[in-house]
Amino acid sequence: MIPACLLEGLRTRYAEPQRHYHDWAHVETLLEYFRRREDQFHRPEPVLWALYWHDAVYDPLAQDNEEQSAQLLERDAAGHLTPEDAAFAATMIRATADHVVPPGLNIQDTADLGLFLDLDLSILGAPAPVYDRYERAIRAETAAVPADAFRAARGAILKGLLSRERLYFTPRAHREWEDTARANLERAIAVLEQGP
């Protein structure tokens, strides 16, 4: 169980004015997916903490949000999670930087981390109108970035995702979201390439 005082602090962070997608609604969406799949996780408690903290620090222009969020979790989890669970939760958060499962984990933690990353990228497989709102929200978060620079950087991110053999690690996510996600990515790239 996550203490109420910590949840209140997170709510304050996720309500920061620069957030248009990486907000509390995003956390609630992932919580809903988590609840539906909770029995699939081997270590649900650290997964839940990672879910709450994974975007706790969010500066749209920074390059270390994931690391800062992981460090915040490590501080906040002290005395509430075992050191092993806190370390795993922080590992999950750090993995959202590239959405790659790091080597060296045991089979169960590898599976949990893969599913966690799938949930975080569930937006890619959303219906087209929902995905398009997501893209607009990302642009709102990065409004300070000039249009040409945004199109280049965002296009590189989306093309990198699209170039992967698989976007999703688990069979269920792959089956449910992969085709739609690829169509969304292709459409978003085309929009970026068309320019303003």
Report pLDDT for 195.
Answer: 72
Report pLDDT for 63.
Answer: 92
- In this prediction the pTM is 0.95
Domain 4-120 has CATH 1.10.3210.10: yes
Per the CB < 8 A criterion, the answer to whether 76 and 43 are in contact is no
Report pLDDT for 73.
Answer: 98
Assign 44 to helix, strand or coil. helix
The tens digit of pLDDT for each residue in 70-89 reads 999 999 999 999 999 999 99
CA 168 – CA 55 distance, rounded (Å): 20
Report pLDDT for 196.
Answer: 66
Instruction: State the greatest distance between any 2 C-alpha atoms of the chain, in Å, as a whole number.
Output: 52
Domain assignments of the chain as residue spans, ordered by start: 4-120, 125-194
Q: What is the DSSP letter of 92?
A: H
CA angle 66, 68, 71 (to 5 degrees): 110
